[in-house]
Amino acid sequence: MKFFIDTANIEQIKEAQDLGVLDGVTTNPSLMAKEGITGRENIEAHYKKICDIVDGDVSAEVISTDFDGMMEEAEHLAALHPQIVVKIPMIKEGVKVIKKLKEKGIRTNCTLVFSPGQALLAAKAGATYVSPFIGRLDDISSDGVKLVQQIVDMYNYYGFDTQVLAASIRHTQHIIQVMEVGADVATCPLQPILGLLKHPLTDSGLEKFLADHRKAGEKVGAAK
Ligand code: G3P
């Protein structure tokens, strides 16, 4: 399973990249706004900066919601860097745009997906990735992980190439759960990724190893 970090924060992207397990980055207009990145030139420069930090795919989302506007933005974003994957919302005009971009060889990430039906349309349109938002489903007492499983099973059964990119991940256990149901990618904030490192038995085990080592050294020293 691939790990993407879901942020536009350069420092967090660098920290995740330095860990050596990062496969890409996803952003969205809210994450870009959170970093204070506004204006077409600044936004494009920021995407290029992210592409220079990581080796994998970087999702950059369009703002337009009409066909022509999304097409213009998508072609412009894709031309910025080979790592750019254009994020298109799951709306009627978005499905048409994904289909057209597929014909042009431009890779897409269909975002704001909340149902198997939407995921089916994304795959049939030729999206490179589909982004089911599991956290937002959990937030309204729906089962986000179950949606990921439904999509994975549907895509495997029909042989769709679209990769399932589990998004809106709230915590470390979400990563484990989407891995267990076969998601191709999990995109999440830095903390859930770092949470995978943590286990109290690792900490206590290492502490004992080092304490025993020190004691043995003391005994050797005393015997001399
Ligand atoms: O960036 C797409 C998605 O991961 C955002 O999810 O619910 O944390 O805003 P959320």
Give per-residue pLDDT as tens, 108-127: 999 999 999 999 999 999 99
Burial class (CB in 10 A: 0-12, 13-18, 19+), 172: middle
Alpha helices in 83-199 (DSSP H): 92-103, 116-125, 134-138, 144-158, 172-180, 190-195
User: From CA 87, how far away is CA 84, in angstroms rounded?
Assistant: 9
Q: Is the CB of 168 under 6 A from ligand 1?
A: yes
Ligand 1 atom nearest 31 alpha carbon: 1
From its phi and psi, is residue 182 left (phi > 0), alpha (psi between -120 and 50) or beta? left
What residue's CA is closest to ligand 1, atom 4?
A: 168
- Pairing type for strands 2-6 and 185-188 reads parallel
Query: For residue range 127-142, what is the model confidence (pLDDT) as tens digits?
Result: 999 999 999 999 999 9
> Residue 220's pLDDT is what?
74
pTM: 0.94
Residue range 152-166: average pLDDT?
98
Averaged pLDDT of the chain: 97
> Residue 123's pLDDT is what?
98
- Pairing type for strands 108-113 and 84-89 reads parallel
Instruction: Say yes or no to pLDDT of 219 above 80.
Output: no
Element (H, E) at 129: strand 129-132
Of 65-74, 160-169, 214-223, least confident by mean pLDDT is 214-223
